[in-house]
Structure 1
Amino acid sequence: RVKQHKELIASVSKGDEVLMNGGMVGRITKLSEDKDFMVIALSEGVEVTVQKSAVTAVLPKGTMKSL
C-alpha cells in the first residue's frame, strides 16, 4: 500500500485533478522545485499550498466541474 501511494505521488503533474486527505478536491497548478509541495486550485481565485503526500487519488479530468 505504501509503495502504491509513493507511485501515485510520483506520477502527479500540473493540471491533474486530485483528492486530498481532508476530502478537498483541487487542480494542481504548480509543483515546487523540490517537488515536496504543490499549489492546488480549489476554485477560481482560491489556491492553497499542500504537501504532495496529502494526495490520496488522482481523479478523472472534469471531476471538479461536475461537483
Structure 2
Amino acid sequence: MTSTSMLYALSSAAASAGGGEPPVWLQFMPLVAMGAIFWFLIIRPQMRQQKQHREKIAGIKKNDMVVTAGGLVGKITKIDEHYCEVELAPGMKVKAVRSTIGDIIPPGGTAPAND
C-alpha cells in the first residue's frame, strides 16, 4: 500500500466513526435563545408600558392635572380627539397634542418621599 492509499483509508475510517456535524436545528438554538431573551427582557416590557400609557391618556378628563412630555404642569380645560387645552397659569392656555401628555397627577398630589 502506498502512503496515499493509507491516508485515504484512515480518513474514511475517521469519517465513518460518527464524528460528523451536529444537526442543523442544533446550530440555530443559540440564535433562537438570544431572540427569546431579547423578546422577554426588552420588547415585551416596552409594549406593556406603551399600552399602560395609551390607557392612561384615553382616561384624561376635564380638570385633571397633567404633566406634558416637555415638563409643563397644568390643568386640562378642554379635550378633543387629538388635542387638549392645558391651562398652565390663570388665563394662560396652550393647545397640546394629546399623546404628548406624559402623566396625570393624582388629586392631592403625591406623598412625600420620606413618608
Larger relative contact order, structure 1 or 2 (CA cutoff 8 Å, min sep 6): 1
| Partner Cα distance (1:6, 1:15) in 2 | 19
1:40 aligns with 2:40: no
Counterpart CA distance in 1 for 2:66 and 2:78 is 13
1:46-61 paired onto structure 2 within 5 Å: 46-61=92-107
Structure 1 length as normaliser, TM-score? Answer: 0.84
Q: TM-score, normalised on structure 2?
A: 0.50
Q: Aligned match of 1:12 in 60, 79, 83?
A: 60
Report which of the two has the higher share of strand.
Answer: 1
RMSD (Å) for aligned C-alpha atoms: 1.1
User: Which portions of structure 1, spanning 4 or more consecutive aligned residues, are displaced by more than 4 angstroms?
Assistant: none
Q: Which has the larger radius of gyration?
A: 2
Greater helix share, structure number: 2
Report what 1:31 is aligned to: 79
Count of residue correspondences: 61
